Amino acid sequence: YKRVTVKTLVDMKANGEKISMLTAYDYTMAKIVDGAGVDAILVGDSASNVMAGHETTLPITLDQMIYHASSVVRAVYRALIVVDLPFGSYQSDPKEALRSAIRIMKESGAHSVKLEGGKEIKESIKRILNAGIPVMGHLGLTPQSIYKFGTYTVRAKQEEEAERLIEDAKMLERIGCFAIVLEKIPAALAKKVAESVSIPIIGIGAGPDVDGQVLVLHDMLGMTHEFNPRFLRRYLHLYEEMTTGISKYVEDVKTQDFPNESEKY
């Protein structure tokens, strides 16, 4: 395999080739995702919800993110691996942000980090970039600040917030980020942002006129079934499939159908 790098992604935008990205948090799933040809894998702090069952992304720790990231790194041959800096690991000051990013790079072997926010965290991002660590930005709906907003509804519907978002995107490009995730904003605004910068814009709930798409793996596989935002397309219905298989196993054990003659020593 030829490895996907941050430069590959920037070139893909220049060539008009769309970028596919999915989350992964463990070895087995990451191996499948990479083998299926996804360009970039996000070890998202959505692991807090998906893997640990928390209501928000806030509780997951830097150590836990490093555990998830190192499991993914061991599985992946081709995709670029991006790791979320979790809540509380970069907001205090730029030095803390750099220390956290260095821990992720050294202890997991991942290729880049992602931080939520615009100008509030500009100095932290610059510090990480100065150390040679590629940074992906994340604007629009930023789940780590959920308690500031109180809801997970569409962001930047008002002119003022939309303009601030465009300014933040331009700033992130200027200081050297290699891409930006745009979460849950109007499609027309996302299109405008993608046209305003030359680095790739990866959307989730940001419409089709961006440079790539990202989804949470367990959601798009239909393993989760209580979360139904409009932007989520389910490619499989594994919740039902897995329930059927596991129920059958339970039944087979009870009825002594399993194990049979050929399944014993």
Token pair 């809540």 in the structure block, residue: 87
Q: Is there binding between residue 84 and Na ion (CB under 5 A)?
A: yes
46 annotated as ligand-binding: yes
User: Burial of 209 by CB count in 10 Å (0-12 exposed, 13-18 middle, 19+ buried)?
Assistant: middle
Complex with Na ion: residue 84 or 173, whichever CB lies closer: 84
Q: Residues touching ligand KIV: how many (CB under 6 A)?
A: 11
Per-residue x/- mask for ligand KIV, residues 224 to 263, rule CB under 6 A? ----------------------------------------
Residue of the chain from 181, 189, 199, 210 that contacts ligand KIV (CB under 6 A)? 181
- Of residues 67 through 106, those in contact with ligand KIV by CB under 6 A are 84
The counts of H helices and E strands in the chain are 11, 8
Smallest gap from Cβ 227 to ligand KIV, in A, equals 11
Smallest gap from Cβ 181 to ligand KIV, in A, equals 5
Question: Which tokens in the block code for residue 238?
Answer: 């594994």
Backbone angles phi, psi at 134, to 5 degrees: -65, 140
Complex with ligand KIV: residue 46 or 71, whichever CB lies closer: 46
CA–CA distance from 70 to each of 74, 82, 129, 152, 207 (Å)? Answer: 6, 11, 21, 30, 32
In the bound state, the residue with its beta carbon closest to ligand KIV is: 44
For residue 107, the 8-state DSSP code is H
Residue tagged active-site, from 160, 183, 241, 261: 183
Smallest gap from Cβ 86 to Na ion, in A, equals 9
Rounded-to-integer distance, Cα 24 and Cα 253, Å: 32
Rounded-to-integer distance, Cα 172 and Cα 125, Å: 9
Token pair 């590959």 in the structure block, residue: 8
Complex with ligand KIV: residue 60 or 75, whichever CB lies closer: 60
Task: Give one DSSP letter per residue of 29-95, joined into a string.
Answer: HHHHHHHTT-SEEEE-TTHHHHTT--SSSTT--HHHHHHHHHHHHHH-SSSEEEEEPPTTSSSS-HH
- The piece of 44-52, 129-137, 154-162, 249-257 that touches ligand KIV (CB under 6 A) is 44-52
Residue of the chain from 39, 40, 41, 46 that contacts ligand KIV (CB under 6 A)? 46
Task: Give one DSSP letter per residue of 188-222, joined into a string.
Answer: HHHHHHHHH-SS-EEEESS-SSSSEEEE-HHHHTT
Q: Active site includes 183?
A: yes
Q: Is there binding between residue 216 and ligand KIV (CB under 6 A)?
A: yes
- The piece of 39-47, 151-159, 230-238, 257-265 that touches ligand KIV (CB under 6 A) is 39-47
84 annotated as ligand-binding: yes
- Of residues 44 through 63, those in contact with Na ion by CB under 5 A are 44-45
For Na ion, the binding residues (CB under 5 A) are 44-45, 84
For ligand KIV, the binding residues (CB under 6 A) are 23, 42, 44-46, 84, 181, 183, 204, 214, 216
